[in-house]
Amino acid sequence: MRKNEVHRTTKETDITLSLDLDGTGAGTIETGIPFFDHMLTSFARHGRIDLTVRAAGDLAVDAHHTIEDIGIVLGIALAEAVGDGRGITRFADAAVPMDEALARVALDLGGRGYLAFEAAFSPAGPGGIPGDLIEHFFYSLCTNAGITAHITVTGRNDHHICEAAFKAFARALRAAVAIDPSVGDVPSTKGTL
């Protein structure tokens, strides 16, 4: 399948998301949060995933529900697009520098959602988004996609730290979902992810 569309509506958000794991990196992102739009556009571009996100959330409260729920929906869409994982590479890692910032990401698409996240943001956060909400986005994505992710970012500039993390995650994801022609089955000794 490797393509998917998910629509999720709650009392806090209304999100429609579509993706194509074998895309060109095209991104059409409308979340109502300009900096987050920039991060998701970068994610699509560097992951070579076609990604469309249309989200309406309770931004009058704050950005938390919108960003969290986009992570949930993106995770669900990724899990369904990967399916049983037959033929995927499964493990991948990437290191991406952005000026003084350096992000390192290692992923396992083995079906167990887990996030280890190390990054330090200023109190203002990137683009006015609290830094802990960036971590929470990745947590929501990983737990819903069944991805174990280790994300470590060093740097001084919030924008650079955040963007390097999104780019490194995208590049690692691109490699992890790639079809390995030498793998004809599910890449697990259990026979299932």
- Strand 50-57 and strand 91-98: the pairing is unpaired
How far apart, in whole angstroms, are the C-alpha atoms of residue 133 and residue 11?
A: 20
In terms of Cβ atoms closer than 10 Å to its own Cβ (0-12, 13-18, 19+), residue 34 is: exposed
- How do residues 83-120 score in pLDDT, each as one tens digit? 999 999 999 999 999 999 999 999 999 999 999 999 99
What is the reported pTM?
A: 0.95
Strands, E assignment, 13-161:
13-20, 27-30, 50-57, 91-98, 101-108, 114-118, 148-154
List the beta bridge partners of residue 24.
Answer: none
Q: What's the pLDDT at 186? A: 77
> What percentage of the chain carries pLDDT values higher than 90?
91
CB 113 within 8 A of CB 193: no
pLDDT at 157 over 90: yes
Check residue 30 and report its DSSP letter: E
Res. 183 pLDDT band, cuts 50 70 90: confident
For domain 3-177, give the CATH superfamily: Imidazole glycerol phosphate dehydratase; domain 1 (3.30.230.40)
Backbone angles phi, psi at 150, to 5 degrees: -115, 115
Instruction: Please list, residue by residue across 127-153, b when 16 or more beta carbons sit within 10 angstroms of its beta carbon and e when fewer do.
Output: bebbbebbbbbbbbbbbbbbbbbbbbb
Strands, E assignment, 31-125:
50-57, 91-98, 101-108, 114-118
58: enclosing H helix or E strand: none
Q: What's the pLDDT at 1? A: 65
